[in-house]
Amino acid sequence: MNWKPEIRKGTGPIYVAICDALERGIAEGQLLPGEKLPPHRDLAYRLGVTVGTIARAYAEAATRGLVVGEVGRGTFINDFDNHRDDITRLVVPEKLQPEVIDLGLNLSAIGEADEILRSTLKDLSRSGSLNALLTYQPSAGIMSHRAVAAHWLEGIGIRVHPDNVIICNGGQHGLLISMMALAGHGDSVATEQLTYPGARAIAHQLGINLAAIQTDEEGLDPAALRELCETKRPKALYCMPVLQNPTTITMSEQRIREIAAIVEEFGLWIIEDDVYGFLAENRPRPFASIIPERTIYLTSASKSMAPGLRIGFLAVPAKLSRSVQEIVTMSNWMSPPFMAAIVTNWMADGYADKLIAWHRIQAHERQEVAHRILGPYAEGASKSCYHLWLNLPEPWRMDSFSATALREGVRVITADAFAVKRDHAPHAVRLCLGAAHSLPQIALGLNRLMGLLNSQPKPHMDLQSIGYL
């Protein structure tokens, strides 16, 4: 590579000026994602500076998220969009060594649904309605299934006619449908500055710009949302008000009402992702209860019942129902009636309530283990869900911590997977407690992480993460 940056004179350090030039080169297309930067010594010779200055410039570029370093290979322009839109590392189990404890996969615990499923399958086989479950049905789902879901939603304060309940293939499909219904290529959709990676992936594929909103201890900052509405005019707001992924924050009802007022003032739509709401015993009223005419509400059996049940439910405003159903037809034709029958049978028979009660106990027990072991590092994390947000102490960086943790036999997910913008990625990791098979396994993994938190990163690890090597 023959790149020679144009260094603009200023009052700051020369290494910062070099990093600024590198950032301009990326923005202007002179430096492409995945492209290898010159070795430290070569670039130092071209610019007439020391090798140490180039090392500091590359380190600053790594801090800004512009480059990544690989041992024995050099420093490369960060393929940021591709890296961050690849959600497979978050939702699909990797081929880990048997001894590795997976605290990266955000699953609900499994253990109670199998016996219930055996009983349900027997009931369905004797019902005489199997043919209806094995043929084409309306895209939005069988009306009796939608009626059961509508009744179920009344339990959290959402009053929706079955005509406006749409059955989809789980939460990810429901989110895709919602974004396609509310925004188009080039439009903006507002969301939390740390958000569900699946939303980022969908927005990227649809050409939708995600606009990050600052958050505080209660979630979305109303003032930040108002400012964004005034400047970027987003078409919709995507958010997770209850047990947000990854931060576990739950909005107060007062905060939800403040956000709802701004949404109404600026004419936005809301995509309310409530896939973790079932775990919260004292939850606030949902947006779909407060401003139903502006809200698409999304929930999923994959979290509350079992991951393999790829069934979700959308409660949509009447004015959007037809267009949403058309998108379902285009994207999926219909969700599997047989699977929808299992889920709605569980809702009607009380099995779903039993599973939810079991999940709440499981989540609380696992969080108790985490809080006991992590102590102050878990402070502020909700004890009602299967994941927690771990802010790393200095001098740990998220990449070096994740790599070191994996060498110690524990897999975690770094904050950059959730950040809408590079400068909104703190040095933090998400820990998921649902995929582990037992409390002792969770404790073993967390004790390994605690050992790292109480230690200092080895110098060669830090050098690798910032691009010296």
Domain at 83-107+353-466: CATH code: 3.90.1150.10
Of residues 155, 99, 190, 415, the one with CA closest to residue 277: 155
User: What pLDDT shows up at residue 89?
Assistant: 57
Q: Is the pLDDT of residue 437 over 80?
A: yes
Lowest mean pLDDT of 181-195, 295-309, 423-437, name the range.
423-437
Q: So what's the architecture of 130-349 in CATH?
A: 3-Layer(aba) Sandwich (3.40)
| pLDDT tens readout for residues 49-93 | 999 999 999 888 876 768 877 656 788 887 655 544 446 556 555
Contacts of residue 29, defined as CB under 8 A and 6 or more positions apart, other chains included, come to none
Structure tokens at 332: 């999926």
| Contact (CB, 8 A) for 132 and 458 | no
pLDDT of residue 95: 58
Between the alpha carbon of residue 219 and those of residues 224, 243, 254, 277, 422, the distances in Å are 11, 10, 11, 15, 19
Are the CB atoms for 405 and 54 separated by under 8 Å? no
Q: How far is CA 220 from CA 190, 246, 252, 303, in A?
A: 10, 14, 10, 23
> Is residue 460 predicted with pLDDT exceeding 50?
no
State both tokens at 340: 């929808």
Residue with tokens 């004419």: 267
Phi-psi region of 431 (alpha: psi -120 to 50; beta: other; left: phi over 0): beta
Amino acid present at 467: G
Q: What's the token pair of residue 446?
A: 């967390």
CB 29 within 8 A of CB 425: no
Distance CA 40, CA 234 (A): 43
Lowest mean per-residue pLDDT among 30-34, 158-162, 257-261, 404-408: 30-34
pLDDT at 113: 77
pLDDT of residue 268: 96
- Looking at the DSSP bridge assignments, the partners of residue 167 are 313
User: Residue 459 has what pLDDT?
Assistant: 58
- Give the SS3 label for residue 17: helix
**Two structure tokens written together for 41:** 């010594």
Q: pTM of the prediction? A: 0.79
pLDDT-based confidence at 118, cuts 50/70/90?
confident
For residue 26, what pLDDT is reported? 82
Residue 12 above 90 pLDDT? no
Do 257 and 283 contact (CB within 8 A), yes or no? no
C-beta atoms surrounding 197 within 10 Å: 23
Exposure string over 347-379, b if 16+ CB within 10 A, otherwise e: bbeebbeebeeebbebbeebbebbbebbeebbe
pLDDT of residue 271: 98
Question: Domain 14-78, CATH 1.10.10.10 — does that match?
Answer: yes
pLDDT, mean of residues 212-227: 96
Query: From start to end of 157-294, where are the E strands?
Result: 165-168, 188-192, 209-213, 215-216, 219-220, 236-239, 269-273
Cβ atoms of residues 295 and 288 within 8 Å: yes
Q: How many helices (H) and strands (E) does the chain have?
A: 20, 16
Per-residue DSSP letter, 446: H
Digit-coded pLDDT (tens) for 393-418: 999 999 889 989 998 999 999 999 99
On whether the CB atoms of residues 63 and 466 are closer than 8 A, the answer is yes
- Domain limits, the chain: 14-78, 83-107+353-466, 130-349
Quote the percentage of the chain above a pLDDT of 70.
Answer: 91
